[in-house]
Structure 1
C-alpha cells in the first residue's frame, strides 16, 4: 500500500513538473507583440515588395512602425524582413527604381538594418 502511494505521488510530481516545464518553454518562445500589415508596394521591376507594419507589444510599450522587404510571392517574416523601425505610427514608403524611400515624422530617429534586397533611403517628412 505504501509503495503504491509513493509511486502515485512520484507520477503526479513528474506530471506536474512536466506541465510547468511545457508552460515555461511556451512562455519563453512566444511573442507577446501584435503585428498588423497596414500597406505594401511592389518594386517597379516586380521582384521585391515593401510593407509597413504596425507593432504593438502591449500596454507598457508604445506602438512602433516597421518597413519590411521580401521577395514578391513570399509572405513577410516581420522580424527577419525588417529594414527600418521607428517609434510611433508616422511612416511612408515609396519606390524610386530599386531604391526604397522610407519617410518618417520627426522627432524619432529610425533604427535601420542593412538589406541585400534593395537600397533603403531615409527622408524625414
Structure 2
C-alpha cells in the first residue's frame, strides 16, 4: 500500500511507492520531491521495491526510473547534483538529498493518489 510519512526532526519524507503503476509512481515521486523541497526538508526516501533485481531487463522499472531521474539532471531544481555523496542508493530504496530552500512554505502536505493494484 502506497503511503508517505513526514519526519520533522530528521527533515526527511519517506514515500512508499508500492501498489502504483510505473507511470503513477514517477508522477508521485516528482510531486513529493518538489513538495519536500518547498517545505524545506533535506531528504526524501523512496521505497520502490525490487530489492533483488539487479538489471532493468528483469523488472524493477520504478527503481531504475528513479535512478535515471537523478542521473539525467531533471531534478536539479530540487535535488543536489547527481554525484553528491549525500544521496543513498540502496537495493530496496533511494534517498535523495534535497537542496537547501531558504524560502520554505508552511502548508499541509498533499495526499497520495489511490492505490492502483489490488492483491
TM (normalized to structure 2)? Answer: 0.23
Higher-Rg structure is 1
TM (normalized to structure 1)? Answer: 0.22
Looking at secondary structure, tell me which structure has more strand per residue: 1
